[in-house]
Structure 1
Amino acid sequence: MAEEKGRVCVTGAGGYVGSWLVKLLLSKGYEVHGTVRDPGDEKNAHLRKLDKASENLKLFKADLLDYSSLLAAIEGCIGVFHVASPVPSGAVPNPEVELIEPAITGTLNVLKACSEIRVKRVVVVSSVTAVLLNPSWPRDKVKDEACWSDKEYCRATKNWYHLSKTAAESEALEYGKKNMLDVVTVCPCFVFGPMLQSTTNTSSLFLIKILRDGVDVLENRLRHFVDVRDTAEALLLAYEKPEAEGRYICTSHNMRMKDLAEKLRSMYPNHNYPKNFTDAKEEQVLSSEKLQKLGWNYRSLEQTLIDSVQSYQDAGLISKD
């Protein structure tokens, strides 16, 4: 079975999305090369426990800025999923050096290695942050794949993560065109759902804070949500479907924060929810119609929230009442 599907590489295999993607690929009969910073680190132990991992998963020590380490991991693969991305912890004194350059250089290193190995297709995980910040987009128009965050606007408003994702994704698609490499990008929004990894990722932490920490004031902004398992399915579709091309927005639900808190309160009444919500500016809705036309389906928000909370309870991150 594994021989039929072939061998693929997943960068950032130990992360939140990467772990679920590795699990899905193994379940579908792929052999997987996963890149992690340290294969021996306990935080990657969950990968070795996945079904079929013992025979079909090989972990490689790799760094996005170390080309030779990426080349070694991608060697022998027919497809690559570039999931890893530099995410800063805390303030970024020098965003150009610490965030933007590594995001671009890391992505280009992966793509150059893919060109050298001659892989069939590369799926690059971008973000809706590469779509959302465009002040010239018509107010009454739903944002689709034609909408790109404005780099200069990101810079002026100091939205450095948005800038890093926008620059890296645009460079990836440009590289693919210039070098005859089949590059498809997927732009997930706020990703929720159960965790496979032992370390808590940023989007899960956001939901945990609402459930556990009793945030006093929360901005009542419109958020777009997608389940981590549906995100993995979207990435696999983008890889397997011959007709997939360009970029794909990956979002399934949108809701204001006040409504999300109320929904959680109705399901789990014993937690300490935010008391006050500040007004937020009007925000435009995103469309994942292009991805759905490729055959993508998604879970209900209720199911995602139930499975998320169960996962946090099992990990001892929130109380079980």
Structure 2
Amino acid sequence: MMEPAVIGTRNVMMAAAEAKVRRVVFTSSIGAVYMDPNRIPDVVVDESCWSDLEYCKNTKNLYCYGKTVAEQSAWDVAKKKGVDLVVVNPVVVLGPLLQPTVNASIMHILKYLIGTVKTYANAVQGYVHVRDVALAHIIVFETPSASGRYICSERMLHRGEVVEILAKLFPEYPIPTKCSDEKNPRKQPYKFTNKKIKDLGIEFIPVKQCLYETVKSLQENGHLPISKQAEDSVKTH
């Protein structure tokens, strides 16, 4: 994961500098922002926050480690070579699939619908519609005053809230109703701000619609069976 993330990023940034491109928009991740064990709950996560690399290593979260180092590499080259760099940091991206296969973000939802998991995790996650992520890239590219990093997230949800929404929209699927961790208190979403990207004009699509369009796309692409009840649900919504 590390080599393509870091070396690939550096290669692209160097090529952009040599080609004298006017602006580079880099897709990073919330994984490069929020992984910090020392952050107290009342602190609002914003674009100034960075994931703690040692914590990522110790928890074996190589995805967040790779995203953090890759983005840091991009900023390093941008500073040294004078590249106008703007970064978008999305959370879990949902919505209709363009590709025929199921990626990791969509599997995050699909697993609750096909019965492969019987419980949901005691965890929180940010969600955003793929169209909003695409729009964020266009806006920061075309807005001359855009600079720095932009967190791209509609809202945070506990996994329990996610399965509740799915169960109401698509009750025909074996969606879990129990948490895998019944000993510890329910985890609370950390505070974050998406004000910076909203100030550029984005009005985020609600998470409920993201989840609905994700499932509908999975049905249309043959990844989920669609029953008569499901067809009625589609017509209703």
Q: TM (normalized to structure 2)?
A: 0.90
Match among 37, 56, 75 for residue 173 of structure 1 = 75
Q: Distance in 1 between matches of 2:212 and 2:118?
A: 23
Matches within 5 A, 1:186-205: 186-205=88-107
The correspondence for 2:214, drawn from 308, 314, 319, is 308
Name the structure 2 match of 1:288: 194
1:210 alignment partner, SS class? coil
Query: For 2:131 and 2:198, how far apart are their aligned partners in 1?
Result: 15
CA offsets per residue over residues 98-118 of structure 1, 9 Å max, x none? x22321110010011111111
Tell me the distance in 2 between the aligned counterparts of 1:248 and 1:219: 28
Residue in 2 that maps onto 1:114: 16
Q: Does residue 212 in structure 1 map to residue 114 in structure 2? A: yes
C-alpha contact 1:173 1:184 (8 A) present in aligned 2? no
The whole-number CA distance in structure 2 between the counterparts of 1:212 and 1:185 is 35
Write the letter of the residue equivalent to 2:97: M
Letter matched to residue 174 of structure 1: D
Question: Which stretches of structure 1, 4 residues or more, deviate above 4 A after TM superposition?
Answer: 279-283
Instruction: Work out which of the residue numbers 257, 263, 266 in structure 1 matches 2:159.
Output: 257
> Using a 3 Å threshold, how does the CA distance of structure 1 residues 229 and 133 change in structure 2: closer, same or farther?
same
Q: After the TM superposition, which residues 230-245 of structure 1 pair with which residues of structure 2 at under 5 Å, given as runs?
A: 230-245=132-147
Structure 1 counterpart of 2:165, one-letter code: K
Which of 226, 229, 252 does residue 131 from structure 2 map onto? 229
The structural deviation recorded for 1:243 is: 0.8
2:111 and 2:137 mapped to 1: Cα distance?
28
How many angstroms does 1:213 deviate by? 2.1
Mapped contact 1:130–1:165 kept (Cα < 8 A) = yes
Q: 1:281 to 1:262 in 2, by over 3 A?
A: closer
Contact 2:88 2:149 in 1 (8 A): yes
| Residue ranges of structure 2 left out of the alignment (5+ in a row) | 231-237
Task: Give 1:109's aligned amino acid.
Answer: N
Task: Say what the alpha-carbon RMSD is for the aligned residues.
Answer: 1.4
Distance in 1, Cα, partners of 2:212 & 2:175: 16
Which letter maps to 1:256?
H
Structure 2 SS opposite 1:186:
strand
Shift of 1:286: 2.2
Q: Report the Cα offset of residue 285 of structure 1.
A: 2.6
Separation in structure 1 between the aligned mates of residue 193 and residue 222 of structure 2, nearest angstrom = 35
Structure 1 position 129 matched with structure 2 position 35: no
8 Å Cα contact 2:156-2:189 kept in structure 1: no
**For residues 136 and 245 of structure 1, do their structure 2 counterparts lie closer, same or farther at Cα, with a shift above 3 Å needed?**
same
Q: Hey, what's the Cα distance between the residues in 1 that align with 2:216 and 2:126?
A: 21
Give the structure-1-normalised TM-score: 0.67
Aligned mates of 1:157, 1:130 — CA distance in 2:
14
Q: Secondary structure, in 3 states, of the residue corresponding to 1:296? A: coil
Q: Secondary structure at the match of 1:168?
A: helix
* Equivalent residue pairs, number: 223
Distance 2:155 2:41 in 1: 20
Is residue 2:57 matched to residue 1:159? no
Deviation at 1:214, TM superposition (A): 4.8
Superposed, 1:32-71 pairs within 5 Å as none
Aligned mates of 2:216, 2:189 — CA distance in 1: 31
- 2:112 aligned counterpart, secondary structure: helix
Report if aligned partners of 1:127, 1:186 keep a CA contact under 8 Å in 2.
Answer: yes
Higher relative contact order (CA 8 A, sep 6+): 2
Q: Give unpaired runs (5+ residues) of structure 1.
A: 1-98
Shift of 1:276: 1.7
